[in-house]
Chains A and B, each alone.
Chain A
Amino acid sequence: MKTKLLTLALGAAAFATVSSSASAATLDDVKAKGFMQCGVSTGVPGFAFTDDAGDWQGFDPALCRAVAAAIFGDPKAVKFTPTTGKTRFTALASGEVDLLARNTTETFSRDVDLKFTFGPVNYYDGQGFMVRKSLGVSSALNLSGATICIQTGTTTELNLADYFRANNMTYEPVPIETNAEAQEKYLANACDVYTTDASGLAATRAAFEKPGDHALLPEIISKEPLAPLVRHGDDQWADIMKWTLNALINAEELGVTAANADEMKASSKLPSIQRLLGGEGEMGAALGLGNDWALNAIKANGNYGEIYEKYIGPNTAIGLERGLNGLWNNGKGGILYAAPIR
């Protein structure tokens, strides 16, 4: 009996030591799994949606695919996990997803307190309001007493409270979980106003039967720098996210597209292009990836500009102008300015 008891105790002790915490080397885990897990939203037209074949498409999934291509050379080596505004951070912190690309605003508390590392901003946004034109409201300052649909667990929830308080106005918040639910409530007139990031409003409105009946109010009440994020404590993984996005932006600046990337690598004499595409230097190896990491990332969905044009640009139903999200040197007021790859 003695021996038996001892075995039991030892077994239990061994069990206890197995209790693993979130491993530090995410890249190794991802490589071992053979795919990356990416958290996206539950569905915002243009930004994240499933196509007819059931594959995730959109501005945010495109970034996930670029990162997967940088790691595996295969943009399809991603599993997508739809998350709500409420579940997204838990999903990332618990290791359910490796990367969160889900129109998430970078803030101090999310970085420092919730312990996430944000990549470069991939969309400069701000919180706006959408109302029915028939209400005859022309400014957010006329919204006192309105019923407002708002996604819970977001920064917009806090901005809204601050804005109405600062302007001495009252409102009735209707908390909802997903964009689809908000759309349903708003269209049923169960709320007068829908507020979220202006890009999200434009995207949502584009999917309406009669987009012309709805107006975005001129006030933008907050800064919402949307960026991808990963867990604190794994710098290598954070670097992969950061430099993949930087590579996509730099590629646009250098004129490298999905179509001409291979050709550019073979023929371009520009050192900056050669460094980007792995023709010279050992940039990829330093990241723990192959030397053609950026080349593969660009070939996945094209450069930043191509992704923008394909999913949310002026020629799509969403119709978002580049505005702040244009390149810094195109002379149209853009502020996209990616650190150079050298």
Chain B
Amino acid sequence: MTVAADFADEAEPFRISQLIYDKRYRSYTIQVVTMMLFMLAVAWLVNNVIENFEALGKTFSIDFLWQPASYDINQKLIEYSSRSPHWKAAVVGILNTLVLAFLGCIFATIVGVAVGVARLSKNWLVSRLMTIYIEGFRNVPVLLWILLVSSAFSALLPAPRQAAPLLGGGFVPTNRGFYFPAPVFESGSGILAIIFVASIIGAWFFGRWADARQKATGEILPVFWIRLGILLVPTFLMYFLLGMPVGLDIPELKGFNYQGGLFVRNSFMALWLALSLYTGAFIAENVRAGIQAISHGQTEASSSLGLPPSRTMNLVVLPQALRIIIPPLISQYLNLTKNSSLAIAVGYMDVTGTLGGITLNQTGREMECLLLLMAFYLTVSLLISGVMNVYNNSVALKER
């Protein structure tokens, strides 16, 4: 019989001192004490808020959300006027935040992947240029980049009246924003949309068929070009057959500003560019790390099988690198989304500008507005990481 077993058999009465000196109980003691301290800290904070609210004679209520907002917002994706309630102003801001975050994530990913791959290029100049870009953007606070881009736009670009339209009047850069032609959908464009959707489905089915065929026969078709053809040719043919139902609304100078077309404000452009380029630099490093983590043997093996470098990258290296790239990529997306609250610096009306800015200021409901804001950012961040985790699981190494 071992000593330990002897010890366990002894029916020893429980003593208080065991809470500290006995390994079996000590961890419980520590946990209970930590929990109590944590609860006390929370209680203190909550109590502090309640007391200060009482001292100021304020109440906690979100009824103000149903009062008219009384202010105008320049960029609005839904119907909104100064008579709309505060909650609607918050929704306008939320949509502005989401649009910025969504487009920012896309552009940052494109930039990041391109730069990350280019940084590994054997071309000395290309790889050095990419290094300069990455180090420059990563090591300067993003707020400064945003302000720099924004003031460059307003100082260097001409005012609308002096602006010179580019590309046959279609594209007008001004110090207030960029005007693009906007598509105008006339009757018949519905048919066009249906055909285009059908083409997408067709292209997808073709891809599957080509894959299956390659597996069966080993023949490789020029999938990319055929797909492009399936996507574009029917739609273009129908476009002309239907008598060009989709026109372009070209912006024109009328009064103070250009009217018509699609107006992208400088505040949005500055934020979008600065945030994407900044986050893109981080993503580029993730991509480089992911690619470099794939052992060189894989590349050599693939070359010895006769695969050209582009296919080696697409079929061998990148799928494996993705597993390493995606987890840090998620946190970059979250960073970009949260950094979008810097919008206030250039007057972009995101949710921090509406709910956390003007609404907060006009109603004086700091606590309510900030709690709502935090709840929003928390929800969005959790959603993004949830979706990205699902994707991560789908590309992760399947262990069977």
Contacts and interface: CB of A to CB of B under 8 A. Distances in A.
Nearest to A175: B347
Given A19-B44, A157-B358, A162 B33 contact: no
A86 B19 contact: no
A190 B366 contact: no
Interface in A131-157: 135, 143-147, 152-153, 157
Contacts of A208: none
A158 interface: yes
Interface in A3-48: 5, 8-9, 12-13, 15-16, 19, 21-22
A192 B176 CA distance: 10
A21 B257 contact: no
Question: In the complex, which range does the number of interface residues on chain A fall in?
Answer: 35 or more
B155 A188 contact: yes
A89 B33 contact: no
Contacts of A157: 71, 358
Contacts of B259: 145
Given A174-B74, A190-B266, A192-B256, A19 B361 contact: no
B169 interface: no
Given A9-B36, A86-B361, A232 B57 contact: yes
A219 interface: no
A273 B81 CA distance: 55
A115 interface: yes
Given A158-B71, A161-B70, A173-B73, A93 B56 contact: yes
Interface string B341-382: 000100101000100011001111010000000000000000
B201 interface: no
A176 interface: yes
A152 B361 contact: yes
Interface string B34-56: 00110011011001100110111
B159 interface: yes
A302 interface: no
Interface string A306-317: 000000000000
B296 interface: no
Given A12-B37, A144-B255, A153-B361, A175 B349 contact: yes
A93 B360 CA distance: 13
Contacts of B17: 1
Given A21-B54, A86-B357, A145-B259, A113 B363 contact: yes
B353 A175 contact: yes
Contacts of A93: 56, 364, 366
B74 A172 contact: yes
Contact of A21 (B29, B36, B52, B364): B52
Interface in B139-159: 151, 154-155, 159
Interface in B215-265: 254-257, 259
- Which interface residue of A13, A153, A164, A176 has the most chain B CB atoms within 10 A? A153
Given A146-B256, A153-B357, A153-B362, A161 B82 contact: yes
Nearest to A165: B82
A299 to B, nearest CB: 35
A220 B38 CA distance: 56
A198 B41 CA distance: 50
Interface in B106-156: 151, 154-155
Given A147-B256, A153-B361, A158 B70 contact: yes
A243 B44 CA distance: 39
A161 B71 contact: yes
A322 interface: no
Given A8-B37, A157-B358, A113 B82 contact: no
Interface in B188-238: none
B71 A19 contact: no
Contact of A16 (B36, B47, B347, B361): B47
A145 B175 contact: no
Nearest to A12: B40
Contacts of A145: 254-257, 259
B305 interface: no
B58 interface: yes
Given A1-B19, A22-B52, A165-B82, A173 B40 contact: no
A173 B159 CA distance: 16
A2 interface: yes
B41 to A, nearest CB: 8
Contacts of A254: none
Contacts of B364: 89, 93, 109-110, 113-115
B16 interface: yes
29 contacts: A1-B19, A2-B16, A8-B36, A12-B40, A15-B44, A16-B43, A21-B51, A22-B52, A22-B56, A86-B361, A93-B364, A113-B364, A114-B364, A115-B56, A145-B254, A145-B257, A152-B353, A153-B362, A158-B71, A158-B82, A165-B81, A175-B353, A184-B151, A188-B154, A188-B175, A190-B154, A190-B159, A231-B56, A233-B56
Given A147-B257, A190-B266, A192-B256, 7 more contacts: A86-B361, A93-B364, A115-B56, A152-B347, A165-B83, A172-B74, A188-B175
